[in-house]
Amino acid sequence: MKSFKKLTIIIITVISLLFIFLLFHFLTNQKEAIVEKRDYKEIVASDTIVAVLSTNPIDYFIYHGRPMGFQLEILQHFAEDHNLVLKVIVENDLYKGMELLMSRKCDILAQSLVVNTERDLIHEFSIPVRQTKQVLVQRKPDSFYLLTNKQIEDSLIRSPEGLKGKTLYTFKGSVNLQSSQSLSMDIADNFFIEEIDSISVEQIIYYVSKGVFDYAVCDESMAKIAQAYYPNIDIKTDLSLAQNIAWGIRPESTVLLDTVNAWLERFVKSPEYEKYSLRYFNNNRILVDINSEFYSGNEGKISNYDDIIKKYSHIPGWDWRLMASLIYEESRFNESIVSWAGAYGLMQLMPFIYSKFAPDSVSGVEAHIAAGANYINFLYTKIPENVQDSATAVKMLLAGYNVGFGHVEDAIRLAEKYNENSASWDVISFYMSNLSNPKYFNDTCVKHGYISGIYAVNFANSIAERYEHYKNVIPE
């Protein structure tokens, strides 16, 4: 009987303790839920506003170690004007971004969200930060530069009806998927959309230019950037009406939404906004004129700077014609040119590179070319010892010259991780081209993050190819 009473007391005690524990846990969660409310007041109290951005050549990327992007720079202005510190979370998946927003792990979604009524039920939209539209990327006819405008137009698709039975390729990302699904629902009988996650948007467009794919669909802003590098693609066929791009904000954050909208109404009319629009959507990126590669001037001259190039090309041990090909790619021998990112001069050096490598003994164009030669020589110290092929070393160096050698090192680490030959340019160029693919730039072995590496690969290949032509027709 005593044992039964003891057992009863023990059971009651355990149940009581369990009840107290569960009650405490419930009340703690309730308290945490109250504390977690995050509107503009809580943001100001924390001194930090958290934004989710997608990485792409428009919204957020790094160039020569400098963070850049249309969305990034606008968010930085908002944070600065409100005495806040901006914290960026990178997330290309729209739905994961919404999870971060609704769980109060971020305050603003800046993933190039297209305004639609369906997601109004999940989060609020700010007033638009810009507009875009979906366009068809298609290839012009071979030797299009020999055709009349009418002949070119007659060969291209100019309405969705012309896509009947065709397959359009697009990057498999939730933000792109949203637009793609809208297109397929509008005119589903006309064409098919194939989503790809193994290569980046830039490489999909590159495949259209090279004839691997016939058609692609993407944001007009992305297509315009690609067209600057691939003049044989056409992007004039619209596949959607104008679409408003806005920021997403939690429904509970009403004060933040009002604050953002009031600020945006002023900012979109400002000179700063105009400057960013020109920089990212109407920039003067240098085009590669493939038709002028053989025009080297009279008497075997490539440029008016041949003598200076010959004087300093020995520093990295280069044939002067290889350095001339690099300068042609960078500036078309225009010493006054300044890029959208701030690189300048014949060799398109960033100011900090020039300051570090220019000799004090000369000035002007000569100092600029000397600085470029010294920088190239420095980059050779970055080439791994296992790279014995000189052509591969040159292409790795040129890719690093274009986007920063840290991204080449990322490609090397990826090759080694996947047990591939890190001394092969074919291997390195594959991983460089896909450093804009989340599968690769989110890998733990990648130290320098997202980059549109395909342009660096094309940069290196174009210079090497032109150099071969120079050797054929220009005396050493």
Rg for the chain (alpha carbons), in Å? 28
More confident residue, 219 or 406: 406
Are 251 and 166 contained in the same domain?
Answer: no
Query: Which of these, 156, 471, 469, lies nearest to 320 by C-alpha position?
Result: 471
124 and 148 in a common domain = no
The listed range with the strongest mean pLDDT (179-188, 358-367, 454-463) is 454-463
Compute the average pLDDT of residues 251-257: 95
Looking at the structure of the chain, the number of domains it has is 3
What pLDDT score does 414 carry?
A: 97
Domain containing residue 45: 40-129+246-281
Q: Are residues 461 and 352 in the same domain?
A: yes
How far apart CA 342 and CA 285 sit, in angstroms, is 11
DSSP state of 107: S
pLDDT score of 228? 77
Residue 217 domain flag: yes
CA torsion angle 235 236 240 245 (round to 10): 70
CA–CA gap between residue 91 and residue 312 (Å, rounded): 45
Q: Establish if 390 belongs to a structural domain.
A: yes
CA angle 271, 116, 56 (to 5 degrees): 55
* Average pLDDT of the chain, as a whole number: 83
Residue 13 pLDDT grade (very low, low, confident, very high; cuts 50, 70, 90): low
**pLDDT tens per residue, range 152-183:** 999 999 988 888 889 999 877 545 455 555 55
pLDDT band at 315 (very low <50, low <70, confident <90, very high): very high
Structural domain ending residue among the three candidates 224, 259, 281 = 281
Phi, psi of 195 (to 5 degrees): -95, 135
In a domain, 31, yes or no: no
Q: Give percent of the chain above pLDDT 90.
A: 53
Let me know whether 222 and 252 are in one domain: no
Q: Which residue has the tokens 């979370």?
A: 89
Full-model pTM: 0.57
Residues 257 and 354 in one domain: no
At 141, the pLDDT band (50, 70, 90 cuts) reads very high
Structure confidence by residue, pLDDT tens digits, 377-417: 999 999 999 999 999 999 999 999 999 999 999 999 999 99
Choose between 173 and 291: higher pLDDT. 173
Q: Is residue 4 part of a domain?
A: no
Say what the pLDDT of residue 240 is. 84
pLDDT of residue 298: 36
Structural domain contains residue 341: yes
Residue 21 maps to a domain: no
Indicate which CATH number applies to the domain containing 390: 1.10.530.10
Rounded to an integer, what distance in angstroms lies between the CA atom of residue 59 and that of residue 67? 10
H helix or E strand, kind and range, residue 85: strand 85-90
Which of 281, 308, 342 is the endpoint of a domain? 281
313 shares its domain with 381: yes
Residues 356, 374 within the same domain: yes
The answer to the question of residue 9 being in a domain is no
Q: Indicate if 367 and 454 belong to the same structural domain.
A: yes
pLDDT for the residue numbered 291: 28
Residue 56 lies in a domain: yes
What is the CB neighbour count within 10 angstroms for residue 135?
Answer: 22
